[in-house]
Amino acid sequence: MNNAVRFLTRSTSIWSRNIRVWAKLAGPSLMGNFGEPLLYLLVLGYGLGQFVGEVQGLTYMAFLASGVLCTSAVNSASFEGMYSAYTRMDVQQTWMGMLSTPVGVGEVVFGEILWAATKSLISVCAILIVATILGLVADAWALFILPVAFLTGLCFASLALLVTSSAKSYDFFLYYTTLFITPMVLLSGVFFPIDTLPIGVQWLAKSLPLYHAISLVRPLMTGGEVSFVLPHLLVLITFGATAGILAAYRIKKRLIK
Amino acid sequence: MNAVDPQLPIVKSIDLCKTYAGIAVVNKLNLEIKEGSFCGILGPNGAGKTTTLRMFIGQCPIDSGELTIFGKAMPENASLVRESVGVVPQMDNLDPDFTVKENLHVYGRFFGIPSSELKERIHELLDFASLQDKADSKISELSGGMRRRLTLARALINKPKLLILDEPTTGLDPQARQAIWQKLRELKKQGITLIITTHYMEEAERLCDRVIVMDHGEVKADAPPKKLIRSEIESHVLEVHAADDRLLERVQQDESVARSEKSGDIHFFYGEKLKVALEVLEQSTHDDYLFRPANLEDVFIKLTGRDLRE
Q: How many domains does chain B have?
A: 2
Task: State the average pLDDT for chain A.
Answer: 95
Report strand pairing: B38-42 vs B210-215.
parallel
Of the candidates A99, A101, A257, the beta carbon closest to that of B107 is on A101
**Binning pLDDT at 50, 70 and 90, where does residue B309 land?**
confident
Rounded average pLDDT over A109-126? 97
Q: Does B82 touch chain A (CB under 8 A)?
A: yes
Contacting residues of A for B82, CB less than 8 Å apart? 100-102
Domain match, B251 and B276 both: yes
What tens digit of pLDDT does each residue of B4-47 get? 555 789 999 999 999 999 999 999 999 999 999 999 999 998 89
Is residue B224 situated within a structural domain?
A: yes
pLDDT at B197 over 90: yes
Is residue B304 situated within a structural domain?
A: no
**Binning pLDDT at 50, 70 and 90, where does residue A37 land?**
confident
Domain match, B273 and B172 both: no
Flag whether the ipTM exceeds 0.85: yes
Is residue B5 situated within a structural domain?
A: no
Comparing A35-39, A209-213, A239-243, A252-256, which segment has the lowest mean pLDDT?
A: A35-39
User: pTM of this prediction?
Assistant: 0.92
Domain match, B130 and B263 both: no
**Binning pLDDT at 50, 70 and 90, where does residue B310 land?**
low
Question: How many CB pairs below 8 Å do chains A and B form together?
Answer: 66
Q: How far is A103 from chain B (nearest CA, A)?
A: 7
pLDDT of residue A33: 84
Of the candidates B79, B85, B97, the beta carbon closest to that of A24 is on B97
Is residue B310 situated within a structural domain?
A: no
pLDDT at B127 over 50: yes
Residues 6+ apart with CB under 8 A from B288: B240, B241, B242, B243
State the amino acid at position B221 in one-letter form: A
What tens digit of pLDDT does each residue of A68-87 get? 999 999 999 999 999 999 99
Domain match, B52 and B185 both: yes
pLDDT at B263 over 90: no
Rounded average pLDDT over B182-206? 94
CATH number for the domain spanning B220: value is 3.40.50.300
What residue ranges do the domains of chain A occupy? 3-255
HEC per residue, chain A: CCHHHHHHHHHHHHHHHHHHHHHHCHHHHHHHHHHHHHHHHHHHHHHHHHHHCEECCEEHHHHHHHHHHHHHHHHHHHHHHHHHHHHHHHHCCHHHHHCCCCCCHHHHHHHHHHHHHHHHHHHHHHHHHHHHHCCCCCCHHHHHHHHHHHHHHHHHHHHHHHHHCCCCCHHHHHHHHHHHHHHHHHHCCCCCCHHHCCHHHHHHHHCCHHHHHHHHHHHHHHCCCCCCHHHHHHHHHHHHHHHHHHHHHHHHHHHCC
Q: Does B103 touch chain A (CB under 8 A)?
A: no
Strand positions, DSSP E, chain B: 11-20, 23-33, 38-42, 64-69, 72-73, 85-88, 162-166, 193-197, 210-215, 218-223, 236-241, 257-263, 266-271, 289-293
pLDDT of residue B1: 47
pLDDT of residue B3: 54
Domain match, B196 and B239 both: no
Is residue B308 situated within a structural domain?
A: no
pLDDT of residue A1: 65
Rounded average pLDDT over A28-32? 89
What tens digit of pLDDT does each residue of A140-161 get? 999 999 999 999 999 999 999 9
What tens digit of pLDDT does each residue of A168-208 get? 999 999 999 999 999 999 999 999 999 999 999 999 999 99
What tens digit of pLDDT does each residue of B200-230 get? 998 999 999 999 999 999 999 999 999 999 9
Is residue B57 situated within a structural domain?
A: yes
Domain match, B86 and B101 both: yes
Q: Does A5 touch chain B (CB under 8 A)?
A: no
Instruction: Tell me how far apart the alpha carbons of residues A87 and B155 are, in angstroms, rounded to a whole number.
Output: 22
Which domain covers residue B247, as residue numbers?
234-293
Q: Which of A235, A175, A228, A245 is nearest to A205 (CA)?
A: A235
Domain match, B75 and B186 both: yes
Domain match, B165 and B20 both: yes
Rounded average pLDDT over B84-107? 95
